[in-house]
Structure formats: C-alpha cells, structure tokens
Structure 1
Amino acid sequence: MSIEPSTPPSRPRTIRGHREGRLGRSPFGPTGPAVLLAVGYGVAVAAWTLAGDVLPGGRWLAVHLFTLGVLSNLVLAFADHFGTTLTRSPAANLTGRLVVANVGAVLMLTGVVQGRRALLGVGATALTGAVMWSWWQLRRMRRRAVGARFAWIVRVYERAHGMFVHGALLGVLMGLGVLSGPWYVSARVAHLHVNVLGWGGLTLLSTVVFFGPTLARTRIEPGADDRAAVVLRHGATGLSVGTLLLLGSGVGGVLGVVVRCLAAVALGVFAWAATTTCSAVVRAALRSRGAPARWSVVAVGLWFPAMVWADVAVVAYGWWDRLDALGVAVGMGVLLQAIVGALTHVAPMLRGRTFAGRDRMVARFERLATIRVALFNAGLLAVVVAITIGGAAGAVMSRVGWGTVGAVVTSHLLAGLVPARTSPESPVVSRVASRYRRDG
C-alpha cells in the first residue's frame, strides 16, 4: 500500500481501485457479527458480575455467559477465519453456525437456571452440533490444503473443538444430576479444565504463535512455529489425558489420590507446551515498539504459563478451593486480555471506513495503551488476591479490582465502537499514518 507524496494530509488516503479514501472490505469482515455478539454477551457478564446473586443464575450464569457467549462466539468465528486463511480455502458462510450456537446457548442456560431439563438437553445438543459443524469444516479445509505452512494450527483447532464436545457432555451430565457426590466434584474439575484450557486455552496458544507477533507489529521468532507445532501436539494430548484422569479421580481413596497425581503430571506436559509457546511470543513482542496491543501480548504470555503451572500444583495437592481464584486469573488475565488485545487490532479494520478513519482509531487505541494494560493487570491481581484471602479486606480489594478491570475494558469498547471522524489529522494521527505509509 502506498500514497503519493502530494496527497494533502487533511484528506483521506486513497488506494487504486476504490473511491477516494475508501477502504475495501476488511479481511476480518466475516467475524463482525460474532464480535458484536461477544460484546453483547460481555455486557451481560458485567451486569451479572456486578449484581452478584440478585439476578437469576448469579455467578454461575456470569461465568457461563462468558464461556458460552463471549468465548465461544469468538472461537467459532476466528478459528474459521484463520483456518480459511492458513489453508487458503474458500470462505464458508458462518451465519448458520452462529445462529445454531447462540440459540443453543440461550436455551441451555435458560434450562439450567429454570430447572427445565428438556431445554437444557435441546440447547446443549444444538450448541454441540454447531461446534461439531465447525470442527467438520476445519477438518475438511485442512485435508484439502496442500503445502500449507500453518495447517498444523488448524489441526490444533480441531482438537480444541473436540475438547469442547467432551466438556459439554460433562456439563450436561452434571446438569441432569447423573453425576453426584465425589463424581460430581471430579467431573466439575474436569469440565473446567477441558473447557477453559482446552476450548479457550488451546485455541489461543495455537493462534498466538503467528497472530501475537502480528498484534505487536513484529516478526515471528525464527523456528517458533516449528517448535510450537511439536509441543502443542504433545500439550494437547497431555491435557486430554489429564482431563480423563481428573474425572477418574472421583473413585476416591488412595487410588483416587494416585490418579489425581498422574493427572497433575499430564497437565504438566500442557504447562510445558504453554511455556515454550508463550516464551517465544513474549520475546518477539518485547522487540516491538509502539503497537497498542504489545503489552497485552506480553501480559498474556506471562499470565498463561504462570497459571497453568499453578494449576498443576492445585491438582497435585487437591486444593480445589483455589480453583476460583485460578479460574478468574485464566479467564480474565489470559482469555479476556487476549480478546481485548485482538479487538484492538481488528476494530480499526472493521470500523474504519477510510484510511484516515482507520488511522484515527489506531491512534485512539495507542493513547495511554501502556497505562491501560498496567491498570487492567493491577486490577486483576487485586481480584485474585481478594478471592484468595477473603474477609472484609478481600471484599474491598475485590470491588476496587473489578472496578478497575471494568473501567479499562469499557474504555476499549468505547474506543472500538465510537466511529472515527474524518477531521484534519492531529500530530498523533499523522505519526500513525506515517508509520503505515512507511511499513506499507
């Protein structure tokens, strides 16, 4: 992409083949509906989190609005987008899958909250069907790809989709009351691992290998993709084995302890894979300069290995009361922070109608970017500590922490949703535009 030197700085830039100052269709355009759905679910998550147990479903519903609403919509959309791109396959219509998935999620959550098992069963079937539909599309794209360098990433996406199906099955069995007593506890722990670390975490790890450096506006570290292809294959197997062993730990007694310790060893393989993958991404991001999402990428790359190794310790010792704090740290410090960082990159492409408008949105995200990331992580750390210590002091820390995290996320949403005006460029916008001209 280039621009003539004589173009006035106050006018939108032009590109051959388009009307003056107009951008062509964004490559992330097909993900737009899923992003809007995720934002809507995110608002609901905030409402249920702030309301506590006042609203139906309470904290349980807030968690599942995030995993089934925010996370699942984005995983389905971006796995399809990157799968299509990496395998050079023709784009398929995502609308049907999103409709089935969201109708299923709403029916499932309504069935659990209202105690209506029929709705739970129908909703879970529809949601699982949508994920299997996506899995089949990814598998078909990968098998048809010839010589695609990153086809292995699509294979990891497939494994993450398979883990969602297993997690959904465990969730339905718990919701229907089939599993009880110690088996309910072991199934719940297995359900959390396969959904949070499998469906969300494994998808993130395979994506961050190439998309993390893109967010940080730098190059992938030489050999990082080859290493990730190997370690993530073993890590996914370790997570699968660990989840099965966690479920088997419900047998109780000495045998249950042995099975639980073996599960910790298997999860250690996943933690090793996460550490190896994230380390390369962090090193690449630290070499970058000026990208709005740079520090978000670094923070995610530090939180993820720390939390999965902490999870290994929690499983080894059976500290199930620490899972709440761990779940918040992974959900907010890893998954939500990665989502916010990705949307910082995608939003200008989706919302910017002209080159100048896109540049203004990028400049908007760049302002105070480092401070926002610092505040987000400080707030998150306060929440995790508050959950761990409890009591009156913990309650105060929790309110302050959640308020800080909410304020930062809200500022990102406003920056991405408010249209950018095409007024004369400010010095900050001019600097951003100049960088794009130089790099483009």
Structure 2
Amino acid sequence: MLPSPSTAASAPPPRGASGRGSSPGGGRSSWHRRASRPVTLWMVALIVVVLIHQWIPQSRWLMVHMVTLGLITTSIMVWGQHFAEALLKTRLGEESRPRQVVRIWLLTAGLAVTILGMLPSWPWVVVLGALIVSAALVWYAAALGAQVRAALAPRFEFTVRAYVGAACLLPLGAGLGAVMAFSPGEPWQGRLLLAHQLVNVLGFVGVTVTGTLLTLWPTVLRTRIELAAAKRSAGGLLGMLLAVVGATLGALFGSALLGCVFLVAYLGSFLWVAVTLVATARRAARQERRVPLPLFPILSISAGVAWFALTVLGLLVVWWRSADQQLASSLAAADIQEFTVPFVAGFLLQVLFGAMSYLLPVTMRGGPRSTSAALAAMSRFAVPRVVAYNLVLALFVLAGMGTSGGDALFAALTLGTAEVSAFGSLSRVLLSLLAFAVLVSFPVLMVVAIRASVKNRRTDLPMPATTSQSGSAASAPRSAPAAGAAASSSRSAPAARGAGMDRRALTGALLGLGSVLSVTALGSALDRAQGSVPADTGRGGAAGGGAVTATGETTTLAVSMADMRFSPDVLEVPAGNALVIELSNDDPYDVHDLVLADGTTSGRLQPGASTTVEAGVVTHALDGWCSIVGHRAMGMTLQVVAVGAGPSADGASQSAAPSGAEELAAVPLDLQAAPGESYEVRDARLPASAGPEQRLTLTATDVAAEIAPGVLMDAMTFDGTVVGPVLRSELGSRLTVDLVNEASMGHSLDLHAGRISPDEAMRTIPPGERLEYTITTDHAGVWLYHCATMPMSVHLAAGMVGALIVPPAGLAEADREYVLVQSEHYLVPEGAPGSEAAVHEGAHPVSPAKIAAERPDATVFNGHASQYVHAPLEARVGERVRLWVLAAGPSRGISFHVVGGVFDTVFKEGEYLLRPDNENGGGAQALDLAAAQGGFVELVFEEPGTYTAVNHAFADMERGARALISVTA
C-alpha cells in the first residue's frame, strides 16, 4: 500500500537521462510532490468534514470514503508506482510521469463525482463516479503489469503482482457500492455491504498492505530482507486474493458457511505472511545499533496490522453466528457497519500514517542529516500518540460490543476508573476529540519534518545519533545497504541507549494512558452532571443510598418473547447477584430484542432464535423493553427487581423512558419548499387495467423516505415508497399478490377488497420469507391495503399503505383520472428520546407516542407533502376529471374538496351518492371519508386556472394534504 524500500534510492536513472536534475519535471522528488497533492487535499478536506460533520448529510459515509478512496487508494497509486520501480529496478523515464499524475487526478475526479451523487442520493451519478474510479484502477493495474513484463529477472516480482491482482478487485468493489446507492432492502443491503467491505478492505487494501510489508517492514527496521523467506510468504498473498473472491461469493449468495470457510482461509494466508514479519521484527530487535530506529512508523504500522487481524477475526465470529438467522443467512447492514471504525480508524489510518512517516523523509532526500532530521520530526511524541489513539479506539469498540466480556475489558483498560454504563455522549465526544487531535498531529509534524529536511540539506557529513522528543532517534536510510541492512553493528554503548529508550517509552506510554483516563473521567463527570447516564451504574455499586455488595453468585432466568410480551415480565434477582437471561424469541413471525436501561442489549433475534444476555451484578430495579419500533408502546416491557436492595433515590426503577413533552414536539416542515432533488414525484394517474387474471409482487423494505421537503422518515414500505403502488383490478377478476419480506422485521398484508380467512393469508412473515395472497375482486370501490402486523398503527404510519381500485360496472370514460391517497405521519423530533434509534442517518423514527396522542407532523397525498404543489396535476377546460380518493390513515379521515370546483358525481364506499344531471340539480362540495374509506368524485373545469385539491379539515391541509390542479384552455 504505502511502500518504498531503501532500494528506491539506488534505482538506476531513466534511460536517456543525464542525471537527476536534468529532467524537465524536476526529478523523482518533484514527481512525488505533484502526485501526492490529492492526498494532501483529501487530508485537509477530511479535517474540515470532521469538524462540521453534524451539518452534512450522510457524513459517516463521506468520512469513511474520504479515508478509503481519498487517502488510502490515492496513496496506494502513488507509492505503489514508486515501490514497483524500486523492486523491479525499472525506473521509468520522466516522460511517463505526467500520465501517472493524470491517472491519480482521474481517481480524485471519480471520488468527487461519487460524493456529488451520494450526498443528494443521485444513484446514477454514483454509478458514473464508480466507473471513473474503476477506470483509474484498471489503468494503474495495467501500467504495473507492463512494468513486470519489462523487468529483467526481478527478485521482488511477487509483491508487484500482488499489487496488480489487488487493484483488479477494486472495480468490483466500486460496482457493489454503486448498486447500494439504489438502496436495496435487506437482506441485499447487508449482503452487498459485506461483499463491498470484503473486496475493498480485505482484498484491495489488505493484500496491497501485506505484500508491501514483506519489503517495507525490514526497511523500516533497518535489517536485511530474507529473500527466500519473503518468496515463501508470498504464497500467502495469492491465498488472500483467492479467499477474498470466495468470501465475497459467500456474502452475495447469503451463505455464512461458504463465507466463513474462505474467511478462515484468508486469516490463515495472512498469518502465513505475518510469521515472516514477526521473525523480521525479532531479528531486528537483537541487532545492536549506534542509532536508534524511528519509532512512530514501527509502532503505528504494528498497531494497524494488529487491528486488521483482530477485526477480521471479529467479522468471522459475527458472520458465523448469523448463520442461524432467517434473514437469508445474511448479516444485516447495521451489523457490518460495526466494523467500520476498527477497519478504517484502527487499520487503514494507522498503517497509512505509519508508512508515510517513514517514506516522506526518505523521498525528500537531501542527504543523511536531512533525512534523519525529518524522521526525527515525524516521530515526535510517538509513544503517547500511539498509546492514546489506540486506547480510545479500543474503548469505543468495547463499548459497542454489549457483552460482559467487553465490559470487563473496558473496565480493565481504564484501570477500573470507568464502566461502559457511564460512557455517555460527552465522554464519547471528548475522547473523539482526543483521537482527532492525535490524527491532526500528523499533518502538523509533516510540515515540521519538511522544514527540518530543508534546513539540514546539502550536508552529507556523517551524523551522530540524535534523539527526538519522543525518545526515538532517526538515522539516514541512504547510508544503509540497499537491501535495508542495519546501519551499523558498532557496539558503542548500545545497552545504555536501550535503557534510556525503555524509560522514555514507559514515560510516553503513561502519558498516553493518563490523557485518556483524564478525558474519560471528565466526560463521565459531565455526563452524570447533565443526567445522560445514571449516577449509579447498577453494576456492583450502591443503589439508592444503600451499599449493595456483589455476592459472587449468579441467577439464571429463562425469558420468552412472543405476542408482544416478555414471559415472565418481572425478574426477581437477589441484590448483588449477577443476572444471566436465557432469552428466546418464540414468536413464530416477528423479530424482537431486549434492551435494559443500563445499555445492555441482546441484539435482534429472528423467530426461533435464542441468545444469552449477561446483565451483570444487579443492585437495584432495572427496566427492560423491546426496541423494535412500536413494540414497547404495545406493552413489550419487563422489570428486573433487586430483591433485598433499598429503594432508589427517586423511588423508581432505573429507566430510560422517554420524555413525553419532548417527543410530542412538532417536527418543523417547510411546505413552501420544493421536494428534494433526489425525490421522484409520484405519477398520480390511474394505472391501466391488467385484465381478468393478475399476479404481482409487493416487496417489504426499510428505506429513508422523504415525506416533506428535506424531512426524511425511517419508513417501512411496499416496493420502496411511502404509500405503496396503486393496484387495479376489475370486477370478478382474480388477483394474486406475492409478498416478499426484505425488511428487518416481520410484515404482513391485508387486502380489504378480498373475502378470505386472515389466519394464513394475513399472517406475519419474518425477514427473508414470502407469502402468496390470492383474492377475487367481486366488489367495486377504492380499497385500502396495508400491513397488518402489530402494532398496525406504527406500520401504517411508517408508510405501509396503498390503494387497490376496482371500478364499478359500466363506469363511463373520463378524460383524466388521478388517484390521491392521504396518509398521516408521526415523527420523533431530532434530539428527543428515541431519535437515537434511527436506522438511516438523518431520518426520523416513527413516534408511537405521537400516534397515541393523534398529533401528526405531516398529512400528505401519495407519500409527500408538497409534490403536487410544485408538480401540479394537469387538466384542460371542458375535460371530465375523475379523482379517486382514499383515506389510508392510520387514524384520520378526509373531507376532500377542490377549491373553485363543484362535484357532479360522488361515489363512496361502493355506491353513487350523486350523478350528473340528477333531478334535483344537486352538486357536492366535499367527499367525506373516515379512515380506511374510499371513493371518487368527478368534475368539469369551465375556466383555466390553478385549482387546489385539499383536505377541508384545514389542520390536515396545513400539514401537507394539498395538491394543485393546473387547468389550461
């Protein structure tokens, strides 16, 4: 990934060149400066985005890809080219440098286009960006392949071939990422994300880094490269490549067994290479040196590789455990995203910065003194930087595990001064700032190193050992043998220097540890002060003013989840005992979980699945609930009772119950604004008849859907839209619907137009299953269809409603026919209790509290509050316009009215209430429909103009139930 052995310095000059300074491009160092400019730009941009990320949509995706594509992939192209020339001894002529720079800027342009498409959710722009990125990497692979073919008996050909193979994987990863931009539902979102990470991180980056370390690692350690051992280890690179392909197929096919077998093979291949790397480190440690090694590259690369191995192992364990789930044996996207932090922050950034801290001083050249000064600058405060950064990462990873083992390690790493249950939002923010400061120190020290290099140039005299402020010393790599052998075997007082180094390293480690502990303590205190974590953590401390001592005993209780209940729902535990819950989901259809108020969670369990929840030592009463949206509101709660403990300070159990006042606050809507640029206005025209026999598929998916300008909802949908597709059937026709559940929880279907026993046809099906639902449409009307899974109000409010239209017999032709389905939606305000449960970044979860209080935020037509205001329905003067209307609910009806129009035809719930030219000369001003009722009205416009169709219950109209009709002459 980020390579350059010392042999680079001794590579032959380009053919036809008279010397390094004769090239018009200014030589190789000039090429490095030009080629690395995009890396610098992405580094600066990343710092800016981190500082303002809370105001940027999809900021997590943006930061991850600025690291992986902006920093990592660009660095691979720069240093991969540099390293290939050094290893193959085929340094290219200066005339090839402009093409290489163009290739790097092409990659930069591809990432910029991808970002341009991803942030506003323009999937086809993302596809274009992926194609540009792929083109740059294919070009890069082809260029390296040509250099391999032109080389004369290269000794390190295996590393460059690994670069070529790894680069060929990235277009596949880019293609998978482009498909994800179209937001496929589960299980495909999880499968694609898993395959995307396997190909890009384990394949492209993992293989490139591992191949690089075979030669870079001895160079950094200034020891000889064991060519025979390196060639033996290179077989592991091929094994890693093949294993990535196999694991990717396992991910795409949803086969945990196939994927895990190949992931084991990947780990084995990596360890085969790692044995050589460890042997190299041991050999270097035994060498006696006059000049100590630059410390930061060694520590940072070592830490990054360790995170890589541990994260791959963690992925293997989680993937294998998912094999008993019903979600098509696939990990969900949320599970895979848990590995983003250790892969990106633990592995990628540390290896990148570690390698660049060695390579940049080497490529700046300027003589031994200049290089040594630059290396010393890059290694300032190496030990505290590495210790603090990795400890912060470890705390974040352990806090997210939700297991007793993770909690114990968390407490151990903080020397018993902090617990996961007290790791609140302010603690996380402060520790994130500490880790960010460590990362920002790299570009700062890079500037310092450049200045030190320039200051000490043109001095080629031997230089005595100089110690950096971190306690590490740098030496001039150009004075080393070409293969990276030790700079000196002199025996002048090595022991004394080693002892001093040990003391300084220990001091640095304590400084890094102390900084993290101090920040953690400060954050915990602030969290408790503002009440974001309980003053009593509930794990072996005092409760309610009475000290409870851990007994050392364990209480194990079995709890079943079914029919929106925990059984039993009261768990009595002797105070001081550890509680272990054997949790099983005995619901045949629905997904459930258990969350305790102290943060312990079981994770989501598919029907028939079970798990063990280690709740820790119980010192006081503790509430628990199912976090699936709406399940808690339906009574799916339990309570842990600490038998023998005193009452808590407020006389109540520890609970994370939301504040009703906050959750009932309105979400502000700008109904004058146009829909977002990525929103596609729904075609309101009545679909054509499908004939007497119709079969179709409705797919249940979870998406982030815009329901008002700039306002996203965590939606449950049929076919990906709030308000499912309009269905049409004819009288007496047979309609078969295949319901496919690709969402993350159980769903069902209720077709109001059918006469059928609900026991089988309307049953809830778990994720990954399908259901056939057949009816005969014997009665005319505008019929509601919806999800019938409890709590129905939540599923309907989340978007799982639609209209089935069966026209009455003998219905006359109309010039225009439109369908308007009214639905209301209830959102958790940003920052209110429950908002943290958002599945999609920037989206509002559905609020059961607002549903119960009947306080909707938006009442809309066809899934969006302003779409037909900015894209009006159309008609002409004299045309007969028929408007089919359905009040889908879940709770509110409609008084449908067209401002400036009079209805001469009204059809409601299967019968005409008014026909044209009736004997009374009557007309209608409104069609009144209760929730789940439907009908149609007809009118003829006599003058051109803009007419407004509204819900004349104006409170609902002012929440978005409005559509314009543009009538032209």
User: In the aligned structure 1, how far is the partner of 2:56 from the partner of 2:159?
Assistant: 40
Q: 273-282 or 186-195, which moves further after superposition?
A: 273-282
> Where is the strand percentage greater, Structure 1 or Structure 2?
2
Residue matched to 1:133? 139
- Secondary structure of 1:388's match? coil
Decide which of 265, 273, 276 is 1:277's aligned counterpart: 273
User: In the aligned structure 1, how far is the partner of 2:168 from the partner of 2:349?
Assistant: 22
User: In the aligned structure 2, how far is the partner of 1:435 from the partner of 1:67?
Assistant: 29
Check 1:350–1:377 CA distance in 2 against 1; reply closer, same or farther (3 A cut). Answer: same
Decide which of 186, 191, 197 is 2:202's aligned counterpart: 197
Deviations 1:298-321 (A, max 9, x none): 223322222222221122123654
TM-aligned CA deviation for residue 29 of structure 1: 5.1
Residue matched to 2:167? 161
Deviations 1:360-415 (A, max 9, x none): 22222343322322222212212322443587615345334422322222222211
Check 1:352–1:401 CA distance in 2 against 1; reply closer, same or farther (3 A cut). Answer: farther
Residue matched to 1:97? 103
Deviations 1:169-204 (A, max 9, x none): 111112135x43312221111111111111211110
Identity of aligned residues (%): 24
Residue matched to 2:187? 182
Check 1:146–1:376 CA distance in 2 against 1; reply closer, same or farther (3 A cut). Answer: same
Residue matched to 1:304? 308
Correspondence 1:20-419 to 2 at 5 A: 30-91=31-92, 92-93=96-97, 94-177=100-183, 179-221=184-226, 223-249=228-254, 259-286=255-282, 287-288=284-285, 289-292=292-295, 293-318=297-322, 320=332, 321-351=334-364, 353=366, 355-389=368-402, 393=423, 395-418=425-448, 419=451
Deviations 1:313-365 (A, max 9, x none): 12212365453342211222221111111111122234565543332222223
Deviations 1:142-194 (A, max 9, x none): 223232121111121112112101011111112135x4331222111111111
TM-score, normalised to structure 2's length? 0.40
Check 1:53–1:189 CA distance in 2 against 1; reply closer, same or farther (3 A cut). Answer: farther
Aligned residue type for 1:296: S
Please say if residues 387 and 398 of structure 1, whose CA atoms lie closer than 8 Å, have aligned partners that are also in contact. no
User: In the aligned structure 2, how far is the partner of 1:378 from the partner of 1:222?
Assistant: 36
User: In the aligned structure 2, how far is the partner of 1:153 from the partner of 1:314?
Assistant: 31
Check 1:343–1:195 CA distance in 2 against 1; reply closer, same or farther (3 A cut). Answer: same
Aligned residue type for 2:302: V
Aligned residue type for 1:308: V
Q: 209-218 or 29-38, which moves further after superposition?
A: 29-38
Aligned residue type for 2:294: A
Deviations 1:34-68 (A, max 9, x none): 43322321333333334443223311111111111
TM-aligned CA deviation for residue 426 of structure 1: 9.9
Q: 37-46 or 230-239, which moves further after superposition?
A: 37-46
Gaps of 5+ in 1: 2-16, 20-24, 250-258
- Secondary structure of 2:401's match? helix
Please say if residues 135 and 161 of structure 1, whose CA atoms lie closer than 8 Å, have aligned partners that are also in contact. yes
User: In the aligned structure 1, how far is the partner of 2:153 from the partner of 2:109?
Assistant: 37
User: In the aligned structure 1, how far is the partner of 2:424 from the partner of 2:336?
Assistant: 17
Deviations 1:196-226 (A, max 9, x none): 1112111101111111221222233564312
Check 1:400–1:276 CA distance in 2 against 1; reply closer, same or farther (3 A cut). Answer: farther
1:428 aligns with 2:466: yes
User: In the aligned structure 1, how far is the partner of 2:48 from the partner of 2:421?
Assistant: 23
Q: Once superposed, what is the RMSD of the aligned Cα atoms?
A: 3.0
Give 4+ residue runs of structure 1 displaced > 4 Å after superposition. Answer: 25-29, 319-322, 350-355, 389-392, 423-427, 429-438
Deviations 1:227-246 (A, max 9, x none): 32111111210111111110
- Secondary structure of 1:134's match? helix
Check 1:427–1:311 CA distance in 2 against 1; reply closer, same or farther (3 A cut). Answer: same
User: In the aligned structure 2, how far is the partner of 1:394 from the partner of 1:193?
Assistant: 32
Check 1:322–1:120 CA distance in 2 against 1; reply closer, same or farther (3 A cut). Answer: closer
* Equivalent residues, number: 410
User: In the aligned structure 1, how far is the partner of 2:476 from the partner of 2:117?
Assistant: 54
- Secondary structure of 1:181's match? coil
- Secondary structure of 2:423's match? helix
Please say if residues 285 and 297 of structure 1, whose CA atoms lie closer than 8 Å, have aligned partners that are also in contact. no
TM-aligned CA deviation for residue 77 of structure 1: 1.3
TM-score, normalised to structure 1's length? 0.83
TM-aligned CA deviation for residue 101 of structure 1: 1.0
Deviations 1:234-264 (A, max 9, x none): 1210111111110111xxxxxxxxx212101
Q: Rg bigger for which structure?
A: 2
Please say if residues 144 and 164 of structure 2, whose CA atoms lie closer than 8 Å, have aligned partners that are also in contact. yes
Q: 310-319 or 155-164, which moves further after superposition?
A: 310-319
Please say if residues 304 and 346 of structure 2, whose CA atoms lie closer than 8 Å, have aligned partners that are also in contact. yes
User: In the aligned structure 2, how far is the partner of 1:130 from the partner of 1:268?
Assistant: 31
Q: 158-167 or 219-228, which moves further after superposition?
A: 219-228
User: In the aligned structure 2, how far is the partner of 1:244 from the partner of 1:322?
Assistant: 19
Q: With CA pairs under 8 Å and 6+ residues apart, which has the higher RCO, 1 or 2?
A: 1
Check 1:433–1:334 CA distance in 2 against 1; reply closer, same or farther (3 A cut). Answer: closer
User: In the aligned structure 1, how far is the partner of 2:275 from the partner of 2:431?
Assistant: 27
Gaps of 5+ in 2: 1-5, 7-18, 286-291, 323-330, 403-419, 481-486, 489-969
Aligned residue type for 1:245: G
Deviations 1:404-433 (A, max 9, x none): 322222222211123126379997269746
TM-aligned CA deviation for residue 436 of structure 1: 7.1
Check 1:49–1:74 CA distance in 2 against 1; reply closer, same or farther (3 A cut). Answer: same
- Secondary structure of 1:147's match? coil
Check 1:28–1:406 CA distance in 2 against 1; reply closer, same or farther (3 A cut). Answer: farther
Deviations 1:54-102 (A, max 9, x none): 2233111111111111111011112222222222224232111012111
Please say if residues 213 and 220 of structure 1, whose CA atoms lie closer than 8 Å, have aligned partners that are also in contact. yes
User: In the aligned structure 1, how far is the partner of 2:57 from the partner of 2:365?
Assistant: 38
Check 1:435–1:173 CA distance in 2 against 1; reply closer, same or farther (3 A cut). Answer: closer
> Where is the helix percentage greater, Structure 1 or Structure 2?
1
